[in-house]
A and B are shown apart, each in its own frame.
Chain A
Amino acid sequence: MLNKKADAALPLYLGPTLAALVIVLFIFSIIFFVVGIKQNPDLVIKPAAYQDSHNIITILKIQKNNSTIAELISLAAEDKNYKNELSSELVAILQKLPKQKPQEDLAKSRFAVPSEVKGSLQSSEWILEIFIENELFMKVGEKPFGSSEYLGQSVVIPLENKKLAEIKLFLACTLCSEGEINAIA
Protein backbone atom coordinates (compact mmCIF):
# COMPACT_ATOMS: atom_id res chain seq x y z
CA MET A 1 0.00 0.00 0.00
CA LEU A 2 2.90 2.37 0.65
CA ASN A 3 4.57 1.73 -2.61
CA LYS A 4 2.63 4.36 -4.57
CA LYS A 5 5.03 6.85 -6.12
CA ALA A 6 3.11 9.99 -5.10
CA ASP A 7 3.13 9.07 -1.47
CA ALA A 8 6.91 9.20 -1.50
CA ALA A 9 6.88 12.89 -2.58
CA LEU A 10 4.11 13.96 -0.26
CA PRO A 11 6.17 15.00 2.74
CA LEU A 12 8.02 17.53 0.62
CA TYR A 13 5.05 19.79 -0.16
CA LEU A 14 2.32 18.73 2.28
CA GLY A 15 3.29 21.26 4.95
CA PRO A 16 3.51 24.38 2.72
CA THR A 17 0.42 23.38 0.75
CA LEU A 18 -1.75 22.88 3.84
CA ALA A 19 -0.44 26.16 5.27
CA ALA A 20 -1.42 27.94 2.05
CA LEU A 21 -4.89 26.35 2.17
CA VAL A 22 -5.41 27.42 5.78
CA ILE A 23 -4.34 30.98 4.95
CA VAL A 24 -6.70 31.12 1.95
CA LEU A 25 -9.64 29.79 3.96
CA PHE A 26 -8.87 32.19 6.80
CA ILE A 27 -8.74 35.22 4.51
CA PHE A 28 -11.99 34.23 2.75
CA SER A 29 -13.78 33.47 6.00
CA ILE A 30 -13.01 37.04 7.11
CA ILE A 31 -14.20 38.46 3.77
CA PHE A 32 -17.45 36.42 3.86
CA PHE A 33 -18.05 37.49 7.47
CA VAL A 34 -17.65 41.17 6.59
CA VAL A 35 -19.88 40.84 3.51
CA GLY A 36 -22.49 39.03 5.63
CA ILE A 37 -22.52 41.84 8.19
CA LYS A 38 -22.94 44.44 5.44
CA GLN A 39 -26.10 42.73 4.20
CA ASN A 40 -29.45 44.24 5.11
CA PRO A 41 -29.88 43.85 8.85
CA ASP A 42 -33.71 43.97 8.85
CA LEU A 43 -34.78 41.29 6.47
CA VAL A 44 -38.43 41.23 7.56
CA ILE A 45 -40.40 44.33 6.72
CA LYS A 46 -41.67 46.35 9.68
CA PRO A 47 -45.43 46.86 10.13
CA ALA A 48 -44.88 50.63 10.11
CA ALA A 49 -43.65 50.40 6.50
CA TYR A 50 -47.17 49.47 5.48
CA GLN A 51 -49.80 52.00 6.39
CA ASP A 52 -53.24 51.01 5.19
CA SER A 53 -56.31 53.18 5.30
CA HIS A 54 -58.83 50.92 7.01
CA ASN A 55 -59.43 53.33 9.90
CA ILE A 56 -60.27 56.35 7.77
CA ILE A 57 -62.39 54.31 5.33
CA THR A 58 -64.37 52.82 8.22
CA ILE A 59 -64.87 56.26 9.79
CA LEU A 60 -66.22 57.72 6.54
CA LYS A 61 -68.70 54.85 6.17
CA ILE A 62 -70.19 55.21 9.67
CA GLN A 63 -73.92 55.96 9.52
CA LYS A 64 -75.21 58.90 11.58
CA ASN A 65 -78.80 60.08 11.27
CA ASN A 66 -79.48 58.50 7.87
CA SER A 67 -76.27 59.79 6.32
CA THR A 68 -72.67 58.65 6.42
CA ILE A 69 -69.79 60.72 7.77
CA ALA A 70 -68.65 61.17 4.13
CA GLU A 71 -72.04 62.65 3.23
CA LEU A 72 -71.97 64.79 6.38
CA ILE A 73 -68.65 66.26 5.21
CA SER A 74 -70.29 67.20 1.93
CA LEU A 75 -73.25 68.75 3.75
CA ALA A 76 -70.94 70.68 6.10
CA ALA A 77 -69.00 72.04 3.12
CA GLU A 78 -72.27 73.46 1.72
CA ASP A 79 -73.99 74.47 4.94
CA LYS A 80 -72.00 75.64 7.96
CA ASN A 81 -74.82 74.50 10.27
CA TYR A 82 -73.66 70.92 9.75
CA LYS A 83 -70.07 71.72 10.70
CA ASN A 84 -70.63 71.49 14.46
CA GLU A 85 -72.53 68.24 14.09
CA LEU A 86 -69.73 66.79 12.00
CA SER A 87 -67.09 67.97 14.45
CA SER A 88 -68.81 66.45 17.49
CA GLU A 89 -69.38 63.14 15.67
CA LEU A 90 -65.72 62.97 14.67
CA VAL A 91 -64.52 63.77 18.21
CA ALA A 92 -66.63 60.90 19.55
CA ILE A 93 -65.34 58.50 16.88
CA LEU A 94 -61.66 59.40 17.33
CA GLN A 95 -61.90 58.76 21.07
CA LYS A 96 -62.78 55.15 20.33
CA LEU A 97 -59.64 54.49 18.26
CA PRO A 98 -56.78 52.68 20.06
CA LYS A 99 -53.90 54.88 21.14
CA GLN A 100 -50.88 54.95 23.42
CA LYS A 101 -51.74 55.92 27.00
CA PRO A 102 -49.30 57.12 29.69
CA GLN A 103 -47.80 53.92 31.09
CA GLU A 104 -46.61 55.20 34.45
CA ASP A 105 -48.02 57.49 37.09
CA LEU A 106 -45.14 59.29 38.79
CA ALA A 107 -47.40 60.19 41.74
CA LYS A 108 -47.59 56.49 42.61
CA SER A 109 -43.92 55.85 42.01
CA ARG A 110 -41.38 55.87 44.87
CA PHE A 111 -38.36 56.33 42.63
CA ALA A 112 -38.51 58.30 39.39
CA VAL A 113 -36.32 56.10 37.21
CA PRO A 114 -35.86 57.24 33.57
CA SER A 115 -38.21 54.59 32.14
CA GLU A 116 -40.98 55.68 34.53
CA VAL A 117 -40.44 59.35 33.68
CA LYS A 118 -40.64 58.53 29.95
CA GLY A 119 -43.76 56.40 30.51
CA SER A 120 -45.49 59.16 32.44
CA LEU A 121 -44.79 61.72 29.70
CA GLN A 122 -46.15 59.56 26.90
CA SER A 123 -49.31 60.86 25.32
CA SER A 124 -51.03 60.39 21.98
CA GLU A 125 -54.03 61.73 20.09
CA TRP A 126 -55.65 60.83 16.80
CA ILE A 127 -55.87 63.88 14.56
CA LEU A 128 -58.24 64.16 11.61
CA GLU A 129 -57.85 66.94 9.08
CA ILE A 130 -60.20 67.74 6.20
CA PHE A 131 -58.86 69.71 3.28
CA ILE A 132 -61.17 71.04 0.56
CA GLU A 133 -59.34 72.11 -2.57
CA ASN A 134 -56.08 72.03 -0.55
CA GLU A 135 -57.42 74.42 2.11
CA LEU A 136 -57.89 73.24 5.68
CA PHE A 137 -61.64 72.99 6.28
CA MET A 138 -61.67 71.25 9.64
CA LYS A 139 -59.23 69.83 12.16
CA VAL A 140 -60.32 67.49 14.94
CA GLY A 141 -57.99 66.67 17.82
CA GLU A 142 -55.02 68.48 19.36
CA LYS A 143 -51.45 67.40 18.84
CA PRO A 144 -49.65 66.75 22.15
CA PHE A 145 -46.57 68.88 22.76
CA GLY A 146 -43.46 67.59 21.00
CA SER A 147 -45.33 64.80 19.25
CA SER A 148 -44.44 63.06 16.03
CA GLU A 149 -46.86 61.74 13.41
CA TYR A 150 -47.43 58.00 12.96
CA LEU A 151 -49.84 55.70 11.10
CA GLY A 152 -50.84 58.34 8.55
CA GLN A 153 -53.86 57.53 6.40
CA SER A 154 -55.51 59.64 3.75
CA VAL A 155 -58.42 59.34 1.37
CA VAL A 156 -60.15 61.49 -1.23
CA ILE A 157 -63.93 61.80 -1.55
CA PRO A 158 -66.02 63.91 -3.90
CA LEU A 159 -68.36 66.62 -2.65
CA GLU A 160 -71.77 67.40 -4.09
CA ASN A 161 -70.42 70.65 -5.56
CA LYS A 162 -67.86 68.62 -7.56
CA LYS A 163 -64.89 69.61 -5.44
CA LEU A 164 -62.58 67.09 -3.79
CA ALA A 165 -62.13 66.69 -0.05
CA GLU A 166 -58.93 65.11 1.20
CA ILE A 167 -59.24 63.56 4.64
CA LYS A 168 -56.10 62.79 6.62
CA LEU A 169 -55.91 60.76 9.82
CA PHE A 170 -52.78 60.23 11.88
CA LEU A 171 -51.67 59.43 15.40
CA ALA A 172 -49.69 62.23 17.04
CA CYS A 173 -47.60 60.61 19.77
CA THR A 174 -45.04 61.95 22.23
CA LEU A 175 -42.15 59.66 23.26
CA CYS A 176 -43.64 56.63 21.55
CA SER A 177 -41.30 53.85 20.51
CA GLU A 178 -41.50 51.99 17.22
CA GLY A 179 -42.59 48.82 19.01
CA GLU A 180 -45.49 50.59 20.72
CA ILE A 181 -46.64 52.09 17.42
CA ASN A 182 -46.38 48.71 15.70
CA ALA A 183 -48.55 47.25 18.45
CA ILE A 184 -51.26 49.84 17.73
CA ALA A 185 -50.91 49.34 13.96
Chain B
Amino acid sequence: MLLLDKNKKGLYLPLFVMIVPVILAALLGVMISAENDKEDFVGFRAVKILKAVDESGKINLYIDVAAEHSKANALKNMAVNGGYNSKNRCEKTARTLVDNEQYVIWNTCPVLNLEKEFETEFKQELKSLLQIYKSLYKTADYEKILGRSSQNRQDYAVFYTGNVRNASILSIERKQSEFMITISDIALPVEETADSAIILQPKTKIQIPDFFLYRKLHKTISERCINREFNDCSAEITSNFPGSEILHEDNIYKFKIPAEGLTIKFALMPESQIPSYQN
Protein backbone atom coordinates (compact mmCIF):
# COMPACT_ATOMS: atom_id res chain seq x y z
CA MET B 1 0.00 0.00 0.00
CA LEU B 2 2.83 2.29 0.76
CA LEU B 3 4.23 1.67 -2.67
CA LEU B 4 0.81 2.32 -4.32
CA ASP B 5 0.27 5.54 -2.45
CA LYS B 6 3.55 6.81 -3.60
CA ASN B 7 3.20 5.69 -7.20
CA LYS B 8 -0.05 7.06 -8.64
CA LYS B 9 0.85 5.94 -12.15
CA GLY B 10 0.29 2.40 -11.02
CA LEU B 11 -3.45 3.16 -10.59
CA TYR B 12 -4.05 3.58 -14.34
CA LEU B 13 -4.64 -0.10 -15.08
CA PRO B 14 -7.29 -0.69 -12.36
CA LEU B 15 -8.88 2.63 -13.33
CA PHE B 16 -9.01 1.48 -16.95
CA VAL B 17 -10.64 -1.80 -15.93
CA MET B 18 -13.29 0.15 -14.02
CA ILE B 19 -14.00 2.53 -16.90
CA VAL B 20 -14.30 -0.19 -19.58
CA PRO B 21 -17.65 -1.60 -18.27
CA VAL B 22 -19.07 1.92 -18.07
CA ILE B 23 -18.14 2.66 -21.69
CA LEU B 24 -19.42 -0.71 -22.91
CA ALA B 25 -22.70 -0.30 -20.97
CA ALA B 26 -23.23 3.13 -22.52
CA LEU B 27 -22.54 1.71 -26.00
CA LEU B 28 -24.98 -1.10 -25.37
CA GLY B 29 -27.62 1.40 -24.27
CA VAL B 30 -27.16 3.44 -27.46
CA MET B 31 -27.36 0.28 -29.61
CA ILE B 32 -30.55 -0.94 -27.99
CA SER B 33 -32.31 2.42 -28.16
CA ALA B 34 -31.24 2.91 -31.80
CA GLU B 35 -32.56 -0.55 -32.64
CA ASN B 36 -35.87 0.19 -30.95
CA ASP B 37 -36.26 3.47 -32.82
CA LYS B 38 -35.35 1.91 -36.15
CA GLU B 39 -38.23 1.67 -38.58
CA ASP B 40 -36.33 0.95 -41.69
CA PHE B 41 -35.09 -1.85 -43.84
CA VAL B 42 -32.67 -1.52 -46.69
CA GLY B 43 -34.96 -0.49 -49.53
CA PHE B 44 -37.96 0.39 -47.36
CA ARG B 45 -37.75 4.12 -48.05
CA ALA B 46 -37.32 3.44 -51.75
CA VAL B 47 -40.43 1.25 -51.60
CA LYS B 48 -42.39 4.10 -50.00
CA ILE B 49 -41.40 6.42 -52.86
CA LEU B 50 -42.25 3.73 -55.43
CA LYS B 51 -45.65 3.29 -53.79
CA ALA B 52 -46.34 7.01 -54.22
CA VAL B 53 -45.20 6.76 -57.87
CA ASP B 54 -47.50 3.76 -58.32
CA GLU B 55 -50.37 5.82 -56.92
CA SER B 56 -49.58 8.56 -59.44
CA GLY B 57 -49.84 5.95 -62.23
CA LYS B 58 -53.28 4.97 -60.97
CA ILE B 59 -54.39 8.61 -60.81
CA ASN B 60 -53.16 9.21 -64.38
CA LEU B 61 -55.12 6.17 -65.58
CA TYR B 62 -58.22 7.40 -63.73
CA ILE B 63 -57.91 10.84 -65.34
CA ASP B 64 -57.42 9.36 -68.84
CA VAL B 65 -60.53 7.18 -68.48
CA ALA B 66 -62.48 10.04 -66.86
CA ALA B 67 -61.60 12.34 -69.78
CA GLU B 68 -62.99 9.86 -72.34
CA HIS B 69 -66.21 9.41 -70.34
CA SER B 70 -66.50 13.17 -69.84
CA LYS B 71 -66.27 13.66 -73.59
CA ALA B 72 -69.05 11.14 -74.23
CA ASN B 73 -71.25 12.58 -71.48
CA ALA B 74 -70.62 16.15 -72.61
CA LEU B 75 -71.74 15.28 -76.16
CA LYS B 76 -74.85 13.55 -74.81
CA ASN B 77 -75.79 16.56 -72.65
CA MET B 78 -75.14 18.98 -75.51
CA ALA B 79 -77.38 16.96 -77.82
CA VAL B 80 -80.22 17.06 -75.28
CA ASN B 81 -79.78 20.84 -75.06
CA GLY B 82 -79.70 21.47 -78.80
CA GLY B 83 -75.91 21.96 -78.89
CA TYR B 84 -75.63 24.15 -75.77
CA ASN B 85 -74.19 23.21 -72.41
CA SER B 86 -76.55 21.95 -69.72
CA LYS B 87 -76.35 25.23 -67.75
CA ASN B 88 -77.42 27.34 -70.71
CA ARG B 89 -79.72 30.33 -70.34
CA CYS B 90 -81.96 29.51 -73.28
CA GLU B 91 -85.70 29.32 -72.79
CA LYS B 92 -87.32 25.91 -72.84
CA THR B 93 -90.67 24.64 -74.00
CA ALA B 94 -93.25 23.74 -71.39
CA ARG B 95 -94.10 20.11 -70.73
CA THR B 96 -97.38 19.06 -72.32
CA LEU B 97 -99.64 16.04 -72.05
CA VAL B 98 -98.54 14.92 -75.50
CA ASP B 99 -94.84 15.50 -74.97
CA ASN B 100 -93.46 15.43 -71.44
CA GLU B 101 -89.96 16.50 -72.53
CA GLN B 102 -88.57 20.01 -72.55
CA TYR B 103 -86.78 21.46 -75.58
CA VAL B 104 -84.29 24.31 -75.76
CA ILE B 105 -85.78 27.03 -78.00
CA TRP B 106 -82.98 27.96 -80.40
CA ASN B 107 -84.30 31.44 -81.10
CA THR B 108 -83.79 32.44 -77.43
CA CYS B 109 -80.16 31.27 -77.27
CA PRO B 110 -76.88 33.17 -77.75
CA VAL B 111 -74.47 32.55 -80.65
CA LEU B 112 -73.87 28.84 -81.18
CA ASN B 113 -70.17 28.12 -80.61
CA LEU B 114 -70.01 24.37 -80.28
CA GLU B 115 -66.37 24.11 -79.23
CA LYS B 116 -66.91 26.62 -76.41
CA GLU B 117 -70.10 24.85 -75.33
CA PHE B 118 -68.26 21.53 -75.42
CA GLU B 119 -65.38 22.88 -73.30
CA THR B 120 -67.80 24.19 -70.67
CA GLU B 121 -69.74 20.93 -70.52
CA PHE B 122 -66.59 18.80 -70.61
CA LYS B 123 -65.08 20.69 -67.66
CA GLN B 124 -68.21 20.13 -65.58
CA GLU B 125 -68.26 16.43 -66.41
CA LEU B 126 -64.56 15.89 -65.73
CA LYS B 127 -64.76 17.77 -62.44
CA SER B 128 -67.71 15.64 -61.36
CA LEU B 129 -65.72 12.46 -62.09
CA LEU B 130 -62.64 13.77 -60.24
CA GLN B 131 -64.86 14.44 -57.24
CA ILE B 132 -65.77 10.77 -56.85
CA TYR B 133 -62.15 9.49 -56.95
CA LYS B 134 -61.29 6.98 -54.26
CA SER B 135 -57.70 5.95 -53.56
CA LEU B 136 -57.01 2.30 -52.72
CA TYR B 137 -53.59 3.10 -51.26
CA LYS B 138 -52.58 0.75 -48.47
CA THR B 139 -50.17 2.03 -45.85
CA ALA B 140 -47.16 -0.29 -45.33
CA ASP B 141 -47.83 -3.13 -42.95
CA TYR B 142 -45.24 -2.28 -40.28
CA GLU B 143 -46.32 -5.21 -38.13
CA LYS B 144 -45.54 -7.59 -40.99
CA ILE B 145 -42.41 -5.91 -42.33
CA LEU B 146 -40.70 -4.63 -39.20
CA GLY B 147 -42.24 -6.91 -36.62
CA ARG B 148 -43.61 -4.03 -34.59
CA SER B 149 -46.41 -1.52 -34.83
CA SER B 150 -45.64 2.03 -35.83
CA GLN B 151 -46.80 5.01 -33.81
CA ASN B 152 -48.82 7.83 -35.37
CA ARG B 153 -49.73 5.93 -38.52
CA GLN B 154 -51.75 7.97 -40.98
CA ASP B 155 -54.16 6.88 -43.65
CA TYR B 156 -52.55 8.13 -46.84
CA ALA B 157 -55.50 6.98 -48.97
CA VAL B 158 -57.48 9.82 -47.37
CA PHE B 159 -54.79 12.37 -48.36
CA TYR B 160 -54.59 11.12 -51.92
CA THR B 161 -58.37 10.94 -52.33
CA GLY B 162 -58.77 14.49 -51.02
CA ASN B 163 -56.00 15.90 -53.21
CA VAL B 164 -57.47 14.39 -56.39
CA ARG B 165 -60.98 15.53 -55.52
CA ASN B 166 -59.73 19.07 -54.94
CA ALA B 167 -57.86 19.22 -58.25
CA SER B 168 -59.19 21.65 -60.82
CA ILE B 169 -59.03 21.84 -64.60
CA LEU B 170 -56.58 24.58 -65.44
CA SER B 171 -56.85 24.74 -69.19
CA ILE B 172 -58.13 23.08 -72.31
CA GLU B 173 -55.93 23.87 -75.30
CA ARG B 174 -56.56 23.00 -78.88
CA LYS B 175 -53.61 21.23 -80.50
CA GLN B 176 -54.36 20.16 -84.07
CA SER B 177 -57.07 17.52 -83.81
CA GLU B 178 -56.87 17.16 -80.02
CA PHE B 179 -57.76 19.00 -76.88
CA MET B 180 -54.91 19.02 -74.34
CA ILE B 181 -56.33 19.15 -70.82
CA THR B 182 -54.14 20.39 -67.97
CA ILE B 183 -55.15 19.65 -64.41
CA SER B 184 -53.77 21.42 -61.33
CA ASP B 185 -50.84 19.80 -59.48
CA ILE B 186 -51.69 16.91 -57.19
CA ALA B 187 -49.34 16.40 -54.22
CA LEU B 188 -48.77 12.83 -53.12
CA PRO B 189 -46.96 12.86 -49.75
CA VAL B 190 -44.52 9.98 -49.38
CA GLU B 191 -45.58 7.71 -46.55
CA GLU B 192 -44.09 8.41 -43.12
CA THR B 193 -41.60 10.97 -44.37
CA ALA B 194 -41.52 14.59 -43.34
CA ASP B 195 -42.07 17.09 -46.14
CA SER B 196 -41.46 14.60 -48.95
CA ALA B 197 -44.02 14.44 -51.68
CA ILE B 198 -44.35 13.55 -55.32
CA ILE B 199 -45.98 16.34 -57.30
CA LEU B 200 -48.12 14.97 -60.09
CA GLN B 201 -48.85 17.32 -62.99
CA PRO B 202 -51.63 15.50 -64.81
CA LYS B 203 -52.27 16.09 -68.47
CA THR B 204 -54.55 14.17 -70.71
CA LYS B 205 -55.90 14.55 -74.22
CA ILE B 206 -59.02 13.73 -76.19
CA GLN B 207 -59.91 13.88 -79.85
CA ILE B 208 -61.85 17.02 -80.73
CA PRO B 209 -65.40 15.93 -81.58
CA ASP B 210 -66.66 16.49 -85.09
CA PHE B 211 -69.53 18.98 -85.08
CA PHE B 212 -70.22 18.66 -88.80
CA LEU B 213 -73.77 17.46 -88.19
CA TYR B 214 -74.59 20.54 -86.08
CA ARG B 215 -73.21 22.84 -88.80
CA LYS B 216 -75.30 21.10 -91.43
CA LEU B 217 -78.38 21.21 -89.19
CA HIS B 218 -77.96 24.91 -88.42
CA LYS B 219 -77.59 25.72 -92.12
CA THR B 220 -80.63 23.64 -93.09
CA ILE B 221 -82.79 25.18 -90.36
CA SER B 222 -81.82 28.78 -91.17
CA GLU B 223 -82.32 28.29 -94.92
CA ARG B 224 -85.31 25.94 -95.00
CA CYS B 225 -87.31 26.42 -91.81
CA ILE B 226 -87.23 30.11 -90.83
CA ASN B 227 -90.33 31.82 -92.23
CA ARG B 228 -91.25 28.64 -94.11
CA GLU B 229 -94.25 26.33 -93.96
CA PHE B 230 -93.99 23.42 -91.55
CA ASN B 231 -94.35 20.85 -94.33
CA ASP B 232 -91.46 22.33 -96.35
CA CYS B 233 -89.23 22.41 -93.29
CA SER B 234 -90.21 18.90 -92.24
CA ALA B 235 -89.58 17.45 -95.71
CA GLU B 236 -86.17 19.09 -95.93
CA ILE B 237 -85.10 17.93 -92.48
CA THR B 238 -86.23 14.33 -92.93
CA SER B 239 -84.50 14.06 -96.31
CA ASN B 240 -81.24 15.50 -94.96
CA PHE B 241 -81.38 13.74 -91.59
CA PRO B 242 -83.07 10.34 -91.98
CA GLY B 243 -84.90 9.10 -88.90
CA SER B 244 -85.68 12.61 -87.66
CA GLU B 245 -88.88 13.33 -85.74
CA ILE B 246 -90.56 16.75 -86.08
CA LEU B 247 -93.59 17.91 -84.14
CA HIS B 248 -95.66 21.03 -84.71
CA GLU B 249 -97.27 22.30 -81.51
CA ASP B 250 -98.89 25.71 -81.34
CA ASN B 251 -96.39 27.94 -83.06
CA ILE B 252 -93.34 25.85 -82.24
CA TYR B 253 -91.53 23.13 -84.17
CA LYS B 254 -89.89 20.43 -82.05
CA PHE B 255 -87.01 18.45 -83.55
CA LYS B 256 -85.39 15.15 -82.64
CA ILE B 257 -82.43 14.49 -84.94
CA PRO B 258 -80.55 11.17 -84.62
CA ALA B 259 -76.76 11.56 -84.64
CA GLU B 260 -74.20 8.78 -84.00
CA GLY B 261 -75.99 7.15 -81.08
CA LEU B 262 -77.27 10.48 -79.76
CA THR B 263 -80.41 12.49 -80.37
CA ILE B 264 -80.12 16.24 -80.92
CA LYS B 265 -83.19 17.83 -79.40
CA PHE B 266 -84.35 21.43 -79.80
CA ALA B 267 -87.34 23.62 -80.60
CA LEU B 268 -87.83 26.49 -83.03
CA MET B 269 -90.12 29.46 -83.42
CA PRO B 270 -90.25 29.68 -87.25
CA GLU B 271 -91.13 33.38 -87.39
CA SER B 272 -87.98 34.66 -85.76
CA GLN B 273 -84.31 34.29 -86.63
CA ILE B 274 -82.01 31.81 -84.96
CA PRO B 275 -78.60 32.74 -83.43
CA SER B 276 -75.66 32.64 -85.78
CA TYR B 277 -73.22 29.77 -85.88
CA GLN B 278 -69.65 30.48 -84.86
CA ASN B 279 -66.78 28.23 -85.85
* Cα–Cα, bound, A57→B6 (Å): 84
A158-B7 contact in complex given A24-B20, A35-B31, C-beta closer than 8 Å = no
Residue B72 lies at the interface, judged by CB distance under 8 Å to chain A = yes
A39-B35 contact in complex given A28-B24, A53-B58, A164-B132, C-beta closer than 8 Å = yes
Residue A13 lies at the interface, judged by CB distance under 8 Å to chain B = yes
* Cα–Cα, bound, A14→B11 (Å): 10
A41-49, A82-90, A116-124: which lies at the interface: A41-49
Which of A17, A44, A166 is in CB contact (< 8 Å) with B136? Answer: A166
- B9-53 Cβ-contact flags toward A at 8 Å (1 or 0): 110011011001100100010011001001001111001001100
Beta-carbon contact of A45 and B62 below 8 Å: no
Given A70-B64, A74-B65, 11 extra CB contacts under 8 A: A4-B9, A5-B3, A9-B7, A21-B20, A24-B24, A32-B31, A49-B47, A50-B50, A54-B57, A57-B58, A157-B65
Interface size class of A (residues with CB under 8 A): 35 or more
A14, A54, A154, A158 interface centre (most CB from chain B within 10 Å)? A158
B-side contacts of A32, CB under 8 Å: 28, 31
* Cα–Cα, bound, A70→B9 (Å): 84
B-side contacts of A53, CB under 8 Å: 54, 57-58
* Cα–Cα, bound, A32→B25 (Å): 10
Write the residues of chain A forming the contact surface with B, with a CB cutoff of 8 angstroms: 4-6, 8-10, 12-14, 17, 20-21, 24-25, 28, 31-32, 35, 38-40, 42-45, 49-50, 52-54, 57, 60-61, 68, 70-71, 74, 154-160, 162, 164, 166
A-side contacts of B41, CB under 8 Å: 40, 42-45
Which of A45, A68, A154 is in CB contact (< 8 Å) with B145? Answer: A45
Beta-carbon contact of B43 and A24 below 8 Å: no
A-side contacts of B66, CB under 8 Å: 158
A156-B58 contact in complex given A6-B7, A6-B10, A24-B20, C-beta closer than 8 Å = yes
B-side contacts of A159, CB under 8 Å: 69
* Cα–Cα, bound, A157→B13 (Å): 74
Residue B273 lies at the interface, judged by CB distance under 8 Å to chain A = no
A14, A21, A50, A159 interface centre (most CB from chain B within 10 Å)? A50
* Cα–Cα, bound, A164→B135 (Å): 11
A-side contacts of B135, CB under 8 Å: 156
Which of B3, B17, B31, B69 is in CB contact (< 8 Å) with A17? Answer: B17
Shortest distance from the beta carbon of A8 to any chain B beta carbon, whole Å:
6
* Cα–Cα, bound, A38→B31 (Å): 12
Beta-carbon contact of A17 and B14 below 8 Å: yes
B-side contacts of A20, CB under 8 Å: 17
B-side contacts of A61, CB under 8 Å: 61, 64
* Cα–Cα, bound, A96→B202 (Å): 30
Write the residues of chain B forming the contact surface with A, with a CB cutoff of 8 angstroms: 3-4, 6-10, 13-14, 16-17, 20-21, 24, 28, 31-32, 35, 38, 41-44, 47, 50-51, 54, 57-58, 61-62, 64-66, 68-69, 72-73, 128-129, 132-136, 140, 144-147
A-side contacts of B21, CB under 8 Å: 24, 28
Beta-carbon contact of B47 and A45 below 8 Å: yes
B-side contacts of A42, CB under 8 Å: 41
Shortest distance from the beta carbon of A172 to any chain B beta carbon, whole Å:
19
B-side contacts of A40, CB under 8 Å: 38, 41, 146-147
Shortest distance from the beta carbon of A5 to any chain B beta carbon, whole Å:
4
Shortest distance from the beta carbon of A64 to any chain B beta carbon, whole Å:
14
B-side contacts of A28, CB under 8 Å: 21, 24, 28
Chain A: CB-nearest residue to B60: A57
* Cα–Cα, bound, A50→B62 (Å): 22
A162-B47 contact in complex given A28-B28, A32-B28, A156-B62, C-beta closer than 8 Å = no
A-side contacts of B129, CB under 8 Å: 158, 162
* Cα–Cα, bound, A5→B8 (Å): 9
Beta-carbon contact of A50 and B28 below 8 Å: no
A-side contacts of B31, CB under 8 Å: 32, 35
Beta-carbon contact of A156 and B69 below 8 Å: no
Beta-carbon contact of A52 and B17 below 8 Å: no
Beta-carbon contact of A52 and B50 below 8 Å: yes
* Cα–Cα, bound, A32→B64 (Å): 56
* Cα–Cα, bound, A185→B203 (Å): 30
